[in-house]
Chain A
Amino acid sequence: MGGLVTEKHVRYILSIEKRKDDFMSVVMEHLRMNGAYWGLTTLDLLGKLDTADVNEVVSWIMSCQHESGGFSGNIGHDPHILYTLSAVQVLALFDKIDIIDVDKVTNYIVSLQNEDGSFSGDMWGEVDTRFSYIAISCLSLLHRLDKINVKKAVKYILSCKNMDGGFGCTPGGESHAGQRGINTQTRGGHMEVFCCVGALAITGSLDLVDKDLLGWWLCERQVKSGGLNGRPEKLPDVCYSWWVLSSLIMIDRVHWIDKDKLIKFILDCQDTENGGISDRPDDAVDVFHTYFGVAGLSLLEYPGVKPIDPAYALPVDVVNRIFFGNDKKL
């Protein structure tokens, strides 16, 4: 087995920007803000953030901000909480958070909290625990977590807890008498678990998670090939190296999986010729899986990859700078 082909991955990421015309790039055009976060975070984890043009990125991000304070996935699209977090994360990578009007962004997110503590993704009212995580993570990075009702937000997330210790995207509580039928929500697996555990981590509420139960469910996501799947009896996929692994780390149960086997699985998913990482060995690569693969290796303490913070999904040094930097002394 070969090692991580860092140089090729860096070249692959830098090349994506130049291939704006192929079909997948057009399909993904509306979520370029996510793409920027995936690509640039990967570069940073590989120690190559300096290959990106800071000014170009920052000015593009700022042109995606709307009057409401929210950011859109690309110029011309509508604002959404998903892209607002990505924008803040990328600015954090470059230590440029001070460029935005923090109160304006904060007001946008605060306006999306609902009476029951949950969050909508935008003005159209789709509710999902993913948005709770995003709101909490984003406000925390901006040092404005106190602007929302954290207690209610946490209670809402806890109401989505499942029998296997995981979480769904909406609750099983009985808060709305007229909606009893909706109450039981299916486990979305991967992403919802990460979002709920991440939100509870950032709000200091991990005591309320049954770590052993959730940990067992998560560690049984590892299949014989070493890869992780998102739900029982599904195929492994590199992206769960992030979703599952980061949750296992936050609840201190990551030793329950075989790390070496997972490292091997991720490395096997590399395109060693042209760079990039795919969902499974020999599939087509993309920036999303390249990010999740490298982030996974980072969580597995792979040499030469910078450590990443499991809750904020940013390099540890970036997060530490935000919370323990010298400017905090004032």
Chain B
Amino acid sequence: MHGRPRKTLEPADAEALSAKAEKLRSLQSLFLANHHNRIYDKEALEVSAKLLEINPESYTAWNYRKLAVEHCLSRSESNPDSVKSIFDEELKVVESALRQNFKSYGAWHHRKWVLDKGYSSIDNELRLLDRFQKADARNFHAWNYRRFVCALMQRTDEDELNYTEQMIGTNFSNYSAWHNRRPLCISVCRVEANDVDPSGVLLSNLMKRKAEGYFPKEIVLEEEYNHVQNALFTDPDDQSGWFYHLWLIDQTVKSDAPLLVSSWPSPGSTITLDGNKCLHGCGSSPLYCTLLDTGILPVILYFNQAVEGINSSTVTVKSELTINEDLVWKPLSTNKLNTARVWVMYLNLGNVKLQLSKTYPIEISLGHSQGIVSSSGYHYSHPSQISFKLSVQNAYTELPDGKGGKLTLWENKNFQKFEHFQEVDSIISGGQLITGIDHIPTTSNWSAETIDNEINAFRVLLSESDCKIGKLTLARLLTAYDSISSPHAKGMIHAEEILELYADLLKSDPMHSLYYKDERSLVLLQQITSTTESLLQYCYHYRGITETLDGFVCLRLQNLSLSRMGSLENLLWVQMLDLSHNELRSIEGLEAMQLLSRLNLSHNKIGSFTALGPLRLLKSLKVLNISYNEIGSHSIDTARYLCSSPLSHTEEFGWDRFEILNANIDAANIWEAFLIFKSLNLTQLDVTGNAVADENFRSFLVKILPTLKWLDGELP
């Protein structure tokens, strides 16, 4: 029960309540008897009406009344007056039930059912609603019903929007006192922001339709900014406007239509392939291992939002390479709708005869035909091309057995900073969005100006009051500003200020500190990857003890207090990544790094194997270090439904394979590890320092990973 005080009843009250219970109980049995015997006479109807007046939640009684109506209609079909009175009686019963409990789903639905039959006047309905909405301006049952009624009346969106303003207006009989009644102004915005149009659908419908001169997006948004600013400035701690403001920023900055953000290979790049080695070749140009050492080269398309419809008819690949088989594009996600932000196609070069020292131009174009659609229904409509070249230094040959089995070490002494930036420049810029993709429309001046105005407004707010929402909003506005106004040439100009704002929020609002930490991580990664110069400071040569890996470029993002990953669109080129000594709980998004073959996640806060789900989409991953995390220490798995599994109907368990392992462990206890590792082909794995990693578990790993050459630095 909500809001009922905890106390023992006075004897007199207890007696009264017990009498009430007795009465209700006898009504209920009487009603059920009538229901089961299909008795619909006046007396029986009266019983159900009384029951519903006391207990509007008694759903069977509402059903009974519908049956009764149908029964009575069948007997008085010809007389319109008696038909109308049958329905009017129902409306009365609903009204008295709502007086008892206006949150009763059953009562509201009964009323809709009656109105839908079309015999009753709808004129009274809006008046009835007024009463309930005055009593509780935020009763969402009443608002839902209002919209139902409006649909029956066929009112337009414009009328609805006007009505909401009118309704607010009539409440202020003394409008001249408006500016003295700021609290009421907030309630205006609260109604608008939260109750009338929480989804923003009404407004966005209108903007989409661009009703004549009525709603150009810019004007609507400007007005809404004013409304919500009023609310935020009057009482910054009132949350009503917070979410609405964030939505407005989104509307201002983001494009509805899907865009291609980056790709690998990137436009204009030359990819130098080496048959079976990854030597840092003769001088200037670094070489790529082909994926899995099997001659497979991934081509990655990274969009600004999830899209569907990437296939060989919407994306054409032109090349003089004779690729016989159909090119298959795969969404890098596990949902059922086949949508993803990142799509990959594996070019199989193993079967193609390539001439040495020749370059092969490849041209990928998309957007020439419809078919690529975002999940909100917008089409990809910017014809665009990505041209890159392939050159081959050595003929592809099968890797001899035993090679590539050397231990990868992650110690500082194995890494060396680059002396000359140009050494890696071509690799790094090889995955960056930069300006290579020429169709990204320059954001309108209006967007930049609007965001700039908001920035100034919030600076003023912060100078007056040291409020949390002011800081958070300013940080978001600055981030938005940097992403639309300085495309990567200058980097993130406000990064320092944004990071400082988050550091401040971390201290002043400790309850949500890890939210700010996550946001901070995103900004930090955005800053690091925003220019080639800043990214280079984190790039190292790997100097292993084997010559096989010598010259590998490793991106080392350690000890940065990162709690989540971001800016992956700038990191598609990475083959070796060190994320150790951070605070990562999740590696969501890492699936985009299709070239990644060596990954260090040690000393983080990964809490379960399911959190490693993105790794399953990395076909080239060979070396994985997840030592010193928290796997096995938590009873609640927060990635349980983000990882594909039978629980979410995204994957069969694979009992055949499990049985063969003969692991002598219950599947219910080890399904997460089984699902993750059955699809990986690791040669090196470190799991020590996790609660889960006991001897039993290690022997399970050895069985499930037949390719494994090193487990925790030792031969398995």
Contacts and interface: CB of A to CB of B under 8 A. Distances in A.
Contacts of B661: none
Most chain A CB atoms below 10 A, which of B4, B59, B333, B337: B59
Contacts of B17: 22-23
Contact of B668 (A161, A256, A325): A325
A186 B66 contact: no
Contact of A182 (B147, B205, B611, B649): B147
Contact of B144 (A169, A283, A299): A169
A208 B335 CA distance: 8
A15 interface: no
Contact of A219 (B190, B205, B512): B512
Interface string A6-44: 000000000000000111111101110000000000000
A164 interface: yes
Contacts of A57: none
Nearest to B21: A23
A316 B242 CA distance: 36
A317 B336 contact: no
Contact of B639 (A125, A252, A326): A252
Interface in A178-195: 178-189
A185 to B, nearest CB: 6
A68 interface: no
A172 interface: yes
B306 A208 contact: yes
B69 to A, nearest CB: 11
B60 A154 contact: no
A283 B4 contact: yes
Given A169-B144, A207-B340, A181 B1 contact: no
A204 B650 contact: yes
B105 A126 contact: yes
B604 interface: no
Contact of B242 (A181, A220, A323): A220
A301 interface: yes
Interface string B666-678: 1110010000000
A122 B109 CA distance: 12
Most chain A CB atoms below 10 A, which of B334, B515, B653, B666: B515
Interface string B567-590: 000000000000000000110100
A30 B60 contact: yes
Most chain A CB atoms below 10 A, which of B586, B634, B668: B668
Given A26-B25, A219-B515, A256-B518, A151 B337 contact: yes
A170 interface: yes
Nearest to B251: A163
Interface stretch (A85-93, A110-118, A306-314): A306-314
Q: Which applies to chain B's interface (DSSP): helix, strand, loop or mixed? A: helix
A162 B199 contact: yes
A232 B636 contact: no
B32 A188 contact: no
A253 B511 CA distance: 14
B198 A319 contact: no
Given A204-B336, A208-B335, A321-B668, A164 B510 contact: no
A317 B671 CA distance: 12
B145 to A, nearest CB: 10
Contacts of A325: 667-668
Interface residues of B, number: 102
A184 B638 contact: no
Given A26-B24, A164-B247, A204-B335, A78 B59 contact: yes
A311 B647 contact: yes
A51 interface: no
Contacts of A128: 105
B6 interface: yes
B653 A186 contact: no
A278 B306 CA distance: 43
A317 B36 CA distance: 40
Given A73-B59, A202-B648, A206-B642, A279 B306 contact: no
A284 B200 CA distance: 38
Interface in A291-329: 298-301, 307, 309-311, 316-317, 319-321, 323-326, 328-329
A187 B17 CA distance: 36
A5 interface: no
B57 interface: yes
7 contacts: A23-B20, A125-B113, A187-B199, A189-B140, A206-B648, A208-B375, A216-B246
A186 B198 contact: yes
A76 interface: yes
B334 A207 contact: yes
Interface stretch (B91-99, B149-157, B275-283): B149-157
A268 interface: no
B239 interface: yes
A29 B31 CA distance: 13
Interface string A195-206: 000000111111
Interface string A249-266: 111101111100100000
B511 A261 contact: yes
Given A21-B21, A162-B200, 7 more contacts: A78-B59, A128-B105, A164-B243, A182-B148, A185-B199, A232-B240, A284-B6
B668 A27 contact: no
Contacts of B150: 181-182
Interface string B53-96: 00101111011001000000000000000000000000000000
B201 A172 contact: yes
Interface of B: 1-7, 17-18, 20-21, 24-25, 28, 32, 35-36, 55, 57-60, 62-63, 66, 105, 109, 113, 138, 140, 143-144, 147-148, 150-151, 153-157, 160, 190, 194-202, 205, 238-240, 242-244, 246-247, 306, 333-337, 339-340, 375, 510-512, 514-515, 518, 585-586, 588, 611, 634-636, 638-642, 644-650, 653, 655, 659, 666-668, 671
Contacts of A279: 1-3
Nearest to A237: B2
Interface in A260-278: 261, 271, 278
A241 B412 CA distance: 45
A23 B140 CA distance: 28
Nearest to B513: A258
A187 B595 CA distance: 43
A26 B21 contact: yes
A271 B6 contact: yes
A261 B513 CA distance: 13
A77 B32 CA distance: 8
B60 A78 contact: yes
6 closest pairs, A vs B, by CB? Answer: A204-B650, A172-B201, A232-B239, A181-B151, A204-B648, A201-B641
A100 interface: no
Contacts of B109: 124, 126
B177 to A, nearest CB: 24
Contact of A30 (B58, B155, B246): B58
Most chain B CB atoms below 10 A, which of A140, A145, A201, A323: A323
A204 B649 contact: yes
Nearest to B200: A163
A206 B643 CA distance: 10
B43 to A, nearest CB: 20
Contacts of B642: 206, 251-252
A208 B339 contact: yes
Nearest to A300: B636
Given A76-B36, A201-B641, A284-B4, A23 B144 contact: no
A181 B160 contact: yes
A204 B644 contact: yes
Contacts of A161: 199
Contacts of B138: 231
B337 A257 contact: no
A26 B32 CA distance: 14
A213 B585 CA distance: 18
A103 interface: no
Contacts of A283: 1-6
A184 to B, nearest CB: 4
Most chain B CB atoms below 10 A, which of A77, A128, A319: A77
